[in-house]
Amino acid sequence: MKRKYFFFDIDDTLTVRFGNNANEAVIPDSAREALRLLEEKGHFLAICTGRSHSMAEPFRQRLGFQNMVHDGGNGVTLDGKLIEILPLDREAVLALFKECDEKGIAWGFNPDDSIRRLTPDPRFYEITKDAYMKTEVVPGLDPNDYPEFHKAYAAIRPGEEGLLRSLRQLPWLRYQDEYIFIEPTNKAAGIRRMLEMIGGDPKEVVVFGDNWNDISMFSSEWTNIAMGNAIPRLKELADYVTSKNSEDGIYNACLHFGWIP
């Protein structure tokens, strides 16, 4: 069998959540066994996540992976070493913040690869009620003082996205009603960069996902697998739909294709 290159989303694909706390999610025993067998056969294994490197790194270590595409495709970690993180388009982000100020919309950003979010507006936390990461209110914060932005945030509700014309120049996702994430959304690009680094064949790539940001990981170049608990749109785009992540989905898919005995 040719060497395969497997890329797994974390939340609700590799891991199963009990409640809303993703940090307490666990990898099912069947998934661990599938990963062990794949590695034993010499296949390449990697995480592929929208999380920033700083937030995904503890998961990478806990789950036992050496390789990871992170930051929504803008970051690459190989053999346990961070290789690169490409920032967002700086001028486009600055234009967004300027427009938010003009329209009275609270905003924030990550200036680097750390678990801290900066905002000049105390309303940001009051509006979002979000503990996704530590939010620091910095009075008089000027984003022009920062050379790059890894993620940004705007406190607008569903249906209000059209208020921000500058948002059209940036990738963004919504995970909850109170605000949006302006973050990289091209996991496939990160996979391609990693393949170039290691000399991998795109035709031998296999990706597993479940949610909206995994649409950017699916490509006609390789095999796309949706979990049984995936959103309907991802299932429509998938080459194969396996069982739920909590019902041995990864193991069953690998067994179905003959990648494990």
Q: Map out the domains of the chain as residue ranges.
A: 5-86+185-256, 90-182
| pLDDT single digits (tens) 215-251 | 999 999 999 999 999 999 999 999 999 999 999 999 9
Name the DSSP class of 71: G
The predicted model gives 62-79 an average pLDDT of: 96
Distance CA 66, CA 20 (A): 27
Indicate the CATH number of 90-182 among 3.40.630.30, 3.30.1240.10, 3.40.50.2000, 3.40.50.720.
3.30.1240.10
| pLDDT single digits (tens) 180-224 | 999 999 999 999 999 999 999 999 999 999 999 999 999 999 999
| pLDDT single digits (tens) 127-154 | 888 777 889 999 999 999 999 999 999 9
CATH annotation of 5-86+185-256: 3.40.50.1000
State whether residue 175 is helix, strand or coil. strand
Phi, psi dihedral angles at 218 (to 5 degrees): -80, 135
The pLDDT value given to residue 23: 61
